[in-house]
Amino acid sequence: MLLKEIESYGNLELLAKQVVEGFITGLHKSPFHGFSVEFAEHRQYNPGESTKNIDWKLFARTDRLYVKRFEEETNLRCRILLDISGSMHYPEKINSKLRFSVLAAASIANLLKKQRDAFGLSTFDTKIIEHTEMRSNGQHFREILNKLQRYWEPTNSLPEHGQSDVTEALQFIAQTTNRRSLVVIFSDMFDSDLSETGNKKLWNTLQQLRFQKNEVILFHVQHKPEESLLDFPSRPFRFEDMETGEKLVMNPAEIKEEYQLRVANFEKQMRNKCMQYKIDFYPIDVSKEFHQVLLPFYIKRMRMV
C-alpha cells in the first residue's frame, strides 16, 4: 500500500489497522510463514509449561503448539523515536517523509499492541518534544495515536522550518530506556552537526545503546527519486533548506553526478557503521510501499521472542 493511495483519509487508527491487516494477509501468502502469523493472541508453547492453556484448535490447523497469551504478558519493550524536524516535511506535506513515518510508526504500535508488547513514543527535533511511558494496553495505543495525529494531518500548523539533533535525542533515549529494549528510529539523519566531531558523537551514542543490550533498527527515511538521485528536469530551480530556510538557485543537472556520489558515500558510511555496531539499517523510500518497514520490523520482533 502506497502513501498516496490513502492520503485522503484522516483517521490514523483505521489506517494503521488497514495497513497491518493487509500486511498480515500478505504474510500468509509469503515465504515467511515459518514465523507465527497467528501472533495476535498466542505465543509458542515452551516445554515444561502447563498444557491447560494450549490452543488445540490452532494446533489442529498448524501442527504447532501455541498457548493463549494473557493481557498481563509482555515479551518486549519497544521505544519508537520519530524525527519531526523541518526536513521531514519534504517533499510536500501531504506525501512527506514525516507522514510516511507517522503511519509506519502507528502501524508498528498496532503490531506491538496485538503482541501485548509494551511500547512508547518519543518525538524530537533539536530536543525531545514528547516522551511517553511504555505500556501495552489499548488506551495507551490510542494516546499514542492522538499524539501522532497532529503530524499526520496535512493542514496542521506545524512550523515549516526546524533543525534536528539526532545525537541529543539518542542520548536522552540511552539514559531513559530500559536495558534490552528495541529502539526503532525514523529519521532522514540530516543532523544539524554534520562535522566529523558531530558524526563521532552520534555513533558513540548509538554504540552506547547497543552496549546496554538494546536492539536498534534505523529506518533511514528519504524520498529517493529527488533526495538521492536528484531527479529533476534540467533547468534552474530554487532550492530551500527546510531546516534553516537558506535558499539556493541552481540547475540540478550541473551537479547531479557529484551529488549522487556524495549521497551514496553518506549512505555507505551509515551502513558500514551500523554493521560495525550490529544495528539493523534500512534505507526507506517514501515513494514505495509500507512493507519495506513492516517486514523487517516483524522479522526482528519474531527473532527476539
pLDDT of 272-287, one tens digit each?
Answer: 999 999 999 999 999 8
Asked if the structure places residue 122 within a domain, the reply is yes
Record the cell numbers describing residue 135, joined without a space: 505500556
61 & 150 share domain: no
pLDDT tens digits, residue range 152-192? Answer: 876 555 555 578 889 999 999 999 988 889 999 999 998 86
* Residue 109 and residue 56 share a domain: no
Highest mean pLDDT among 37-41, 71-75, 214-218: 214-218
User: Are 167 and 191 in contact, with CB atoms under 8 Å apart?
Assistant: yes
Query: In the block, which residue shows the cell 548509538?
Result: 206
Do 229 and 268 belong to one domain?
Answer: yes
- How many domains does one find in the chain? 2
- Per-residue model confidence (pLDDT) at position 69: 60
Residues 64 and 77 in one domain: no
Q: What is the pLDDT of residue 40?
A: 45
- Portion of the chain with pLDDT greater than 70, in percent: 84
Determine the pLDDT at residue 39. Answer: 45
User: Quick one: angle between helices 196-211 and 166-176, nearest 10?
Assistant: 20
Q: What is the rounded distance in angstroms from the CA atom of residue 166 to the CA atom of residue 89? A: 16
Mean pLDDT in residue range 104-115: 92
Reading the block at residue 198, the C-alpha cell is 558531530
Tell me whether residue 183 is in a domain.
Answer: yes
Let me know if residue 1 belongs to a domain.
no
Answer yes or no: is 34 within a domain: no
Q: Could you give the angle at which helices 12-28 and 97-114 cross, rounded to 10 degrees?
A: 70
pLDDT for res 32: 44
For residue 229, what are the domain limits? 10-25+72-303
